[in-house]
């Protein structure tokens, strides 16, 4: 049986669509900003192509959704799965701060160059540039705090998926959240420290996929490419 076989449980990472701040690269953590009209179109396009019976994300195979409390993530969830009460996966989603975006604290609404300039003016980072993965955010979360809450969620996911590693029953899960926290999640899923260099891109409205090698709960992995289900 191939590692690409859908019988191995998967974790789908769904990034919310465009907001006004994602367009210009501003750190958006606790600010409750809604999707733009284009952001809604991005998610609707993703849903049409990838979500539905027999598609990449088949609601019949989804047993749990965890979603950030932020409005932009909530909108994304509804656009992906619909909102018909408890009969859709969206109606059974768990809202949790464990997958909320990194709390940027004093850096909320800033871009990287502005943060580095402000820190430089205060005499910080003389030997090396500020890096969120290593240095965290003043007034917000450290990398360790972020890693701790993601590890807690990963433990919950593996408890769900461990009994289903050979297709005993459907056990796909979906995370609906934000760009930086989902990339942080990938690092922790693989057991890497957050400050380990691992360049990744996940555009607004994009879907990432994680799973396991060899149907083994102790071999977490990510897909670097996947064939899509055949659609008649």
Question: Could you tell me the pLDDT band of residue 231, with boundaries at 50, 70 and 90?
Answer: low
Q: What is the pLDDT of residue 88?
A: 65
Residue 176's closest CA among 102, 119, 94? 94
Q: How far is CA 153 from CA 47, 68, 78, 134, 188, in A?
A: 25, 12, 22, 21, 10
Q: What is the pLDDT of residue 83?
A: 61
Q: Sketch out the chain's domains with CATH numbers.
A: 11-222 (3.40.50.1240)
Average pLDDT over residues 185-196: 97
Helices 179-189 and 143-161 pack at an angle, to 10 degrees, of: 60
Q: Provide the annotated binding site for substrate.
A: 28-29, 72, 101-104
Q: What is the pLDDT of residue 1?
A: 33
Question: Could you tell me the pLDDT band of residue 226, with boundaries at 50, 70 and 90?
Answer: confident
Q: Which two tokens stand for residue 47?
A: 């849903």
Give percent of the chain above pLDDT 70.
92
pLDDT digits (tens, 9 = 90+) for 140-173: 999 999 999 999 999 999 999 999 999 889 999 9
Continuous segment of H or E residues that includes residue 133: helix 132-135
Q: Provide the annotated binding site.
A: 28-29, 72, 101-104
Return the beta strands (E) in 100-163 as ranges: none
Active site residues: 16, 101
Instruction: Specify whether the CB–CB gap between 31 and 21 falls below 8 A.
Output: yes
Does residue 11 carry a pLDDT above 60?
yes
pLDDT digits (tens, 9 = 90+) for 178-190: 999 999 999 999 9
Question: Could you tell me the pLDDT band of residue 82, with boundaries at 50, 70 and 90?
Answer: confident
Q: What is the pLDDT of residue 3?
A: 40
Question: Could you tell me the pLDDT band of residue 223, with boundaries at 50, 70 and 90?
Answer: confident
Q: What is the pLDDT of residue 6?
A: 63
């Amino acid at each position: 049986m191939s590692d690409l076989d859908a019988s191995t449980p998967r974790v789908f990472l769904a990034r919310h669509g465009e907001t006004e701040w994602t367009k210009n690269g501003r750190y958006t953590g606790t600010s409750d900003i809604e999707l733009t009209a284009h952001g809604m179109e991005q998610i609707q396009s993703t849903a049409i192509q990838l979500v539905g019976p027999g598609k990449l994300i088949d609601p019949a195979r989804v047993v749990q959704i965890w979603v950030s409390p932020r409005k932009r993530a909530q909108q994304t969830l509804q656009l992906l799965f619909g909102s018909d009460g408890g009969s859709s996966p969206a109606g059974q989603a768990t809202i949790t701060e464990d997958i909320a975006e990194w709390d940027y604290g004093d850096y909320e609404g800033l871009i990287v160059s502005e943060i580095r300039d402000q820190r430089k003016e205060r005499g910080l980072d003389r030997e090396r540039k500020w890096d969120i993965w290593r240095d965290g955010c003043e007034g917000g979360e450290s990398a360790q705090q972020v890693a701790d809450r993601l590890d807690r969620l990963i433990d919950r996911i593996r408890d769900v998926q461990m009994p289903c590693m050979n297709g005993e029953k459907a056990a796909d899960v979906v995370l609906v959240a934000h760009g930086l926290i989902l990339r942080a999640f990938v690092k922790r899923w693989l057991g890497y420290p957050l400050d380990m260099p691992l360049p990744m891109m996940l555009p607004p409205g994009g879907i990432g996929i994680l799973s396991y090698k060899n149907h083994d709960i102790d071999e977490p992995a990510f897909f670097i490419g996947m064939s899509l289900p055949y659609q008649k």
